[in-house]
C-alpha cells in the first residue's frame, strides 16, 4: 500500500514514484507483475489520474515499468531496472566528484563527509 504525505514539499507524483520504486526494488512487486490501471490507482490514492500517469511515465523512463499497448503497465525484469539504477547512480557519483574537484574538496574529506551521512557501513 502506498501512503502519501501531503505535508511533504515534493510533488505527489514524485512520492508515488519513490514508493513504487521501493516496492519494486524491495520485492513487493515481482517482475512482470501487471500494475494497477492509472484510473484505479488514482482512485485508491485519491489523486488526479494525470498524477499517476506522470509517475508511471517516470518509472518507465527509469526502467522500472514497461507498457504494452492496450494491456497496461508491467514491472520490468529485475536485471533491467537494476542496470538502469546502476547507470543513474554512476552518473550521480560522477557529478558529485566533478563538483568536489571544482570546489577543491579532497577525496579524504569527501569520504569523511559521506561516512557522516551514511555511517561506516554505507547505509
pLDDT tens digit sequence for 9-60: 999 999 999 999 989 888 889 999 999 999 999 999 999 999 999 999 999 9
Residue 99 and residue 68 share a domain: no
Q: Among 43, 60, 76, identify where a domain stops.
A: 76
pTM above 0.75, yes or no: no
Residue 102 and residue 48 share a domain: no
Judge whether 46 lies within some domain: yes
Residue 94 and residue 66 share a domain: no
Residue 44 and residue 85 share a domain: no
Region 60-67: mean pLDDT is 91
Region 85-93: mean pLDDT is 75
Do residues 51 and 86 touch, judged by C-beta distance below 8 A?
A: no
pLDDT at 123 over 80: no
pLDDT at 73 over 70: yes
pLDDT at 89: 73
Do residues 86 and 92 touch, judged by C-beta distance below 8 A?
A: no
Q: Where in the sequence is the domain holding 103, given as residue range(s)?
A: 79-118
Judge whether 1 lies within some domain: no
Residue 89 and residue 34 share a domain: no
Count: domains in the chain? 2
Give the span between the Cα atoms of 93 and 87, in whole angstroms: 10
Amino acid at each position: 500500500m502506498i501512503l502519501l504525505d501531503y505535508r511533504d514539499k515534493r510533488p505527489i507524483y514524485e512520492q508515488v514514484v519513490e514508493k513504487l520504486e521501493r516496492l519494486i526494488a524491495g520485492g513487493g512487486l515481482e517482475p512482470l507483475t501487471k500494475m494497477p490501471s492509472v484510473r484505479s490507482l488514482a482512485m485508491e490514492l485519491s489523486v488526479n489520474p494525470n498524477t499517476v500517469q506522470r509517475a508511471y511515465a517516470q518509472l518507465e523512463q527509469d526502467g522500472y515499468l514497461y507498457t504494452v499497448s492496450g494491456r497496461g503497465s508491467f514491472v520490468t525484469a529485475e536485471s533491467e531496472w537494476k542496470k538502469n539504477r546502476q547507470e543513474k547512480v554512476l552518473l550521480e557519483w560522477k557529478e558529485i566528484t566533478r563538483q568536489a574537484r571544482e570546489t577543491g574538496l579532497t577525496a579524504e574529506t569527501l569520504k569523511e563527509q559521506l561516512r557522516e551521512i551514511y555511517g561506516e557501513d554505507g547505509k
